[in-house]
Structure 1
Amino acid sequence: MPVETAALARFLIGKLVARALPDGLVSGRIVETEAYGVGDAAGHGYGGMTERNRSLFLERGHAYVYFIYGRSWMLNVSSETPGVGAGVLIRAIEPRDGVSIMRLNRGTSVLRDLARGPGRLAAALRVDRSLDGIDLCRDGPLWLARGDDPAGEIGQSVRIGISREADRPLRFYLRGSPFLSGPRPLNV
């Protein structure tokens, strides 16, 4: 697993994120990420460690889960060495296992909309604060895994939905995937 944040964001495209739930396994192929590296004013680690973001400062490969807009959980992967606050936001996945469970979790039957966008993704996988800080590289309730499919062609664009350092090309995505969350001009 790469140590530098942007390299990790690119590396994660095509990998799997999986969640063990009481009603079964849910998983998806990661098709979109965003990097929030060291010194990035748009990143949650920019102002230093707090109780809320402490998981972002763990060794790379840990979950950093936070609540935003009063309605959505976001799943991130810590990306640097211990004590350095940086991470990768998992923006979208292509559903693989447990699609019927994801449909119930999200309240929609539209496959494309199950996990297209970070809030939808967290809802589909039932990600919440209880998963904050877990090691995603070990067995547990949520983990990352290698995918069987080749990653495909990876595109790069500016990040979405931020105001600080918005022009930095730190969003990575699987070209041609119908499961991307970004606007069409950014998904070329």
Structure 2
Amino acid sequence: MQIAVKRLKVWSNKADREFAVELEILGRVQHKNLIGLRGYCAEGQERLIVYDYMPNFNLFAHLHGPQSAECLLDWNRRMNIAIGFAEGVVYLHHQATPRIIHRDIKPSSVLLDSNFEALIGGFGFARLIPDGETQVTTNVKGTLGYLAPEYAMLGKASESCDVYSFGILLLELASGRKPIVK
């Protein structure tokens, strides 16, 4: 089994909280379209998270990075990536207990295994939705270009914010273009 180790730079309580959130979320969930947590280390200033290794990196690398020149994403593969990622989001929103809002859906959060099956990663900004609630009010987290307008303006995170971000991701998957070009 190959593993990947994510080393976090912890310079603040904020970064430490994001580390704790990612561990809490990944410790609660298990689904074929979510990255698997293998272990972690929190000693002194070191913060390490051990995951399953993803040999095809992430969607960003194939759309905009070094792998984009090889064009390994035919339309069938793109469709399968979209469906797999959507199944993971459905799990987070409707089957996880409590429900989970990712808050940072973007191409680098779409991890790709050896068969180009999509797995959701990047849970540092995720939030748990308490039972009976439909949204949480929070500081805005996420990536410009993928944020739902109501979330960016009001700080009210809900499942619909992830759905909006997923829609932007689908447009990028189809067009190969970033939502914001600098």
| Pairwise same-fold verdict (TM > 0.5) | no
More strand by share: 1
Of structures 1 and 2, the one scoring higher in RCO (CA 8 A, sep 6+) is 1
Task: Calculate the TM-score normalised by the size of structure 2.
Answer: 0.29
More helix by share: 2
Task: Calculate the TM-score normalised by the size of structure 1.
Answer: 0.28
